[in-house]
Amino acid sequence: MRHAASSSLDLLIVGQGLIGSLLAHAAADAGLDFLLVDDGHQDAASLAAAGLMTPYTGRRFSAPENLDTLLETAKRRYASLSERLDAPLYRPQPMIRIFTLDEELRRHARQRQTATGARLLGPLQLPGHGPAGMPDPLGSCRIDGGGQVDVATLLQRTRAWLEASGRLRQTRLEPDALELETAGCHWNGHTARLCVLCTGHQARHWDAFRALPWRLSRGQALVLRRDSAMPDEVVHAGRTLAALDDNRAWFGATYQHDLDRRDSDPETRQALLDDYRSLFPEAPSPEVLDHIGGIRAGSRPGPPFAGLASDQPALALLDGFGSRGTLLGPWHVDRFVQGFMNKSLIPLKP
């Protein structure tokens, strides 16, 4: 359906990154009338991500408590979007974890004692059994259950889908342009029951969400030309190497807290190249095709922000997914839509 210049909506969605795109599709599936506003900002984390959906991450081998449910929901959602958008958006992808610290070995052993860990985490592989050409003095393991989402194609195809249905407004929604009332909100001739921010780190500039416990970091990565020295699997070894397609690979990412500098700086580029050479000491120097970056928006407690502004019932936030949006996003988006329809969304607490 193509919207008229003025309309009455269920949702006004702000931001067309990964989470905003997932929310738009979930709203459409639920029969909700919505409009999405996006300014195409260039420092969004979605634009710089490899799209990895990794069950276990970090030195602690951390995994969400409801990992099985998250994986099932995500795979089902990306399969349905592949059909809707006529593009293969998800592929299962085994991952190889190269151990770099003794603590990782202990955490791996503990996770293997759980039912989910026993199914998804392979046994310890002794040194010398990892990907060819990579030093693995502490050994490695295989991680199953995850995969890779083609985030760039998902965003591009979703944008075209939104444009074709008249549901996209390509502009910036400034906070002072949104009129908030108890029963709804108004913007540019549109009335909506709820405005939902899915703008990543930009949401922290809204007064209603400044006091939330944000965890922000700037990430940079390199896009490399793939060569025969690179393994087919996704490899985690302090940094991550993942194929994007037959010709390109993603390597990164950094975690930096200097948010004022938005450009991709040459010092970080060189540091990433040095890290690559330490992982593949016998391989030729890689050809760098691109140097990309974005600002991750996470929450210090861990779970993402999904709820209403404390003093504005017509304003909500669905954000703070950090680097795990591909895994966490589908389940939390579905839950948010259900909460909206059931009128059970609760205010966020600082």
CATH number at residue 200: 3.50.50.60
Residues 127 and 15 in one domain: no
Whether 70 is covered by a domain: the verdict is no
Beta-bridge partners for 141: 97
Q: Which helix (H) or strand (E) holds 168?
A: strand 168-170
Measured between alpha carbons, how far is 341 from 32 in angstroms, rounded to an integer? 9
User: Quick one: CA torsion of 255, 259, 260, 265, rounded to 10 degrees?
Assistant: 20
Q: What is the pLDDT of residue 126?
A: 94
Whether 328 is covered by a domain: the verdict is yes
- CA angle, residues 232, 238, 240, in degrees to nearest 5: 30
Q: How far from chain centre, in Å, is Cα 157?
A: 17
Q: Are 210 and 26 in contact (CB under 8 A)?
A: no
Residues 173 and 285 in one domain: no
pLDDT in tens, 139-174: 999 999 999 999 999 999 999 999 999 999 999 999
Whether 242 is covered by a domain: the verdict is yes
Whether 181 is covered by a domain: the verdict is yes
Q: How far from chain centre, in Å, is Cα 262?
A: 19
Whether 85 is covered by a domain: the verdict is no
The residue among 258 and 324 whose pLDDT is bigger is 324
Q: What is the pLDDT of residue 53?
A: 95
Residue range 15-38: mean pLDDT, rounded: 97
Q: Which of 224-233, 303-312, 322-331 has the lowest mean pLDDT?
A: 224-233
Coil, helix or strand at residue 30: coil
Residue 1 has pLDDT above 90, yes or no: no
* Whole-number percent of the chain with pLDDT over 90: 78
Range of the domain at 134: 91-141+216-298
Residues 103 and 158 in one domain: no
Residues 221 and 235 in one domain: yes
Residues 208 and 223 in one domain: no
Domain with residue 230: its CATH number is 3.30.9.10
Whether 135 is covered by a domain: the verdict is yes
**Average pLDDT score, the chain:** 92
pLDDT in tens, 185-234: 999 999 999 999 999 999 999 999 999 999 999 899 999 999 888 888 99
Measured between alpha carbons, how far is 229 from 207 in angstroms, rounded to an integer? 50
Whether 63 is covered by a domain: the verdict is no
Q: How far from chain centre, in Å, is Cα 282?
A: 33
Q: How many domains does one find in the chain?
A: 2
b/e burial code for range 29-65 (CB count within 10 A of at least 16 → b): eeebbbbbbbbebebbbbbbbbbbbbbbbeeebebbe
pLDDT in tens, 69-99: 999 999 999 999 999 999 999 999 999 999 9
Whether 78 is covered by a domain: the verdict is no
Nearest CA to 167 out of 56, 52, 34 is that of 34
Query: If you ran DSSP here, which 8-state letter would residue 282 be given?
Result: T
Residues 235 and 126 in one domain: yes
The residue among 182 and 44 whose pLDDT is bigger is 182
Residues 125 and 224 in one domain: yes
Pull the structure tokens for residue 252: 């990164």
